[in-house]
Amino acid sequence: DAGVTQSPTHLIKTRGQQVTLRCSPKSGHDTVSWYQQALGQGPQFIFQYYEEEERQRGNFPDRFSGHQFPNYSSELNVNALLLGDSALYLCASSWGTNEKLFFGSGTQLSVL
């Protein structure tokens, strides 16, 4: 039984570029949440997807957008990258919107 898988594991971009991160939830899970974790900080909630719709959103600008597909996998898109977007991006899946989260290993994004 595969857990939560994220790709790529590492990514280097330059300012102004766009990036797409991908996440496959744990088998049987229907909800995907995305978090941004800066070095030495706690995970910050970006948004949550359930039934292919964005259900909740944290305090992130519109440059951050996402999508959930019929197979429950999800993408996080970030446009017009800033240096401050450098962080570990974590995807977490759950069965339902209020349950415990299972995290993937994350995508380490570096913006130069």
Partner 1 sequence: GQQVMQIPQYQHVQEGEDFTTYCNSSTTLSNIQWYKQRPGGHPVFLIQLVKSGEVKKQKRLTFQFGEAKKNSSLHITATQTTDVGTYFCAGRANFGNEKLTFGTGTRLTIIP
How far apart are CB 68 and partner 1 at their closest, in Å?
A: 15
How far apart are CB 98 and partner 1 at their closest, in Å?
A: 6
Cβ atoms of residues 91 and 103 within 8 Å = yes
Residues 6+ apart with CB under 8 A from 32: 23, 25, 48, 49, 50, 68, 72, 73, 74, 91, 92, 93
Tell whether residue 41 is a contact of partner 1 (CB under 8 A): yes
How far apart are CB 103 and partner 1 at their closest, in Å?
A: 4
* Backbone phi and psi for residue 88, each to the nearest 5 degrees, phi listed first: -90, 125
Tell whether residue 60 is a contact of partner 1 (CB under 8 A): no
Tell whether residue 97 is a contact of partner 1 (CB under 8 A): yes
Residues lying near partner 1 in the complex (CB under 8 A) are found at: 33, 35, 41-45, 48, 55-56, 58-59, 90, 92, 97-98, 100-106
